[in-house]
A and B are shown apart, each in its own frame.
Chain A
């Protein structure tokens, strides 16, 4: 029961943060709200026995990526979004409706179809407690998933180079 309560608490935090991201007019507040959402998600990951992802979520996502966003927001220093007449009303209305439609479709799917049909994997909770979740993930990362891991490294490198090239001031 305590687990259930914990879940609802975190879910509330997460959804509140997400709503704030979308609703608050100042981008700076949006970024900070997203950090709150991420912290809530990290807690949820912990409840799902995914310690590794939880830690990465906090350090990399909330820590590094969000800091990058903050930097840019501060750099550009836009302030709040001016209230002005809604542009492209048709698109925005249609987008909202379709988005809610996606939500309805997903919920409908969850409600009507059996969810756990896949074969069970090799790492039940007891085994994870034994070998350690982080160790198990790390081992998989450098064995079975070593190729995507390498590809990821290349991707990040290209990302860095690309960001530097794009943001560099061109001498005219």
Chain B
């Protein structure tokens, strides 16, 4: 089994790729995918630490994270569909209605 550092660096790589994706991409769906990527980076760290500490808590937390991710995906995608219906676009850079 590879040492803990390897797993953690891999998780950091995934997280960073997610971050960069969120910032760079414009399509709302892809932004969501990148957020999933970040979550999975964090998940990997949890499981790795749990495994190396002989504990199951890491796995359980990952389980809960997945549930949150599922709920978030459901709501988020519904919002995306709604936005698309209204504006014929899923480009987050078009969404500047927060500013009056």
Question: In whole Å, how far is A3's beta carbon from the nearest beta carbon of chain B?
Answer: 5
On chain A, the number of residues with a Cβ less than 8 Å from chain B's Cβ atoms is: 83
User: Which of B8, B25, B29, B37 is in CB contact (< 8 Å) with A110?
Assistant: B8
When the two chains form their complex, are residues A21 and B73 in contact, meaning their CB atoms are under 8 A apart? no
1/0 contact string of A127-160 vs chain B (CB within 8 Å):
1000001001100110001001000100110111
Using a Cβ cutoff of 8 Å, how many contacts connect chains A and B? 231
CA distance A116 to B50 in the complex (A): 10
Contact residues in A for B47 (Cβ distance below 8 Å): 44-45, 48, 50, 53
Known: A21-B17, A78-B27, A95-B24. A69 touches B56 (CB 8 A): no
When the two chains form their complex, are residues A118 and B53 in contact, meaning their CB atoms are under 8 A apart? yes
User: Which of B9, B16, B26, B59 is in CB contact (< 8 Å) with A50?
Assistant: B59
User: Which of A65, A120, A141 is in CB contact (< 8 Å) with B63?
Assistant: A141
Dominant secondary structure of chain B at its interface with chain A: helix
On chain B, the number of residues with a Cβ less than 8 Å from chain A's Cβ atoms is: 71
Dominant secondary structure of chain A at its interface with chain B: helix
When the two chains form their complex, are residues A116 and B52 in contact, meaning their CB atoms are under 8 A apart? yes
Question: In whole Å, how far is B4's beta carbon from the nearest beta carbon of chain A?
Answer: 6
CA distance A69 to B52 in the complex (A): 33
What would 28 A/B residue contacts be, using CB atoms closer than 8 Å? Answer: A3-B1, A8-B2, A11-B10, A14-B14, A18-B18, A31-B29, A34-B37, A50-B51, A53-B59, A60-B70, A69-B33, A69-B77, A72-B77, A76-B81, A76-B84, A78-B90, A92-B24, A95-B19, A95-B24, A110-B9, A110-B12, A115-B5, A116-B52, A121-B50, A133-B56, A156-B67, A159-B70, A166-B82
Other contacts beyond A99-B23, A121-B53, A122-B54: 7, CB < 8 A: A37-B40, A50-B47, A53-B59, A68-B77, A81-B27, A127-B54, A163-B74
Interface residues in chain B, defined as those with a beta carbon under 8 Å from any beta carbon in chain A: 1-2, 4-10, 12-27, 29-30, 32-34, 36-37, 40, 43-44, 47-60, 62-64, 66-75, 77-82, 84, 90, 93
Interchain residue pairs A-B with the least CB separation, the first 8: A121-B55, A95-B23, A159-B71, A99-B19, A166-B78, A22-B21, A48-B51, A7-B2
